[in-house]
Amino acid sequence: LPDGNTPGTTEVDVTVTYPDGTKDHVKVPVTVGEEADNDAYDTNVEEVNKDHGTPTTEEDVTGAVTVPDYPSEKEQPVITVDNPDQ
């Protein structure tokens, strides 16, 4: 049986036994989906330190967040500030 961790489709052999003793042998396709990126990869967050009187920019904050093990060949995650007026 699929372990639930490997994406793809596996056909599982199943036997149906009827009350009269006859049997049907069938294959049941079981498909395991890809793991969601937010479960598969960890984010790395660094603290932002600013001198007194120096405003913090959205770029300061978004630049402090990385996803270090995310594959470079995939479309990259977009990092945004939820509320810039905060």
Question: Taking the domains of the chain in order of start, what are their residue ranges?
Answer: 1-34, 36-81
Residue 1 CA to chain centroid, in angstroms?
Answer: 22
Rounded-to-integer distance, Cα 37 and Cα 70, Å: 9
Amino acid letter, residue 66 = T
Write out pLDDT tens, residues 22-39. Answer: 999 999 999 999 999 999
Mean pLDDT of the 48-73 span: 96
What is the tally of helices (H) and strands (E) in the chain?
Answer: 2, 4
Residues 11-28: b if buried by 16+ CB within 10 A, e if exposed? eeeeeeeeeeeeeeeeee
pLDDT at 85 over 90: no
Tell the residue number behind the tokens 């959205």, with chain if given: 58
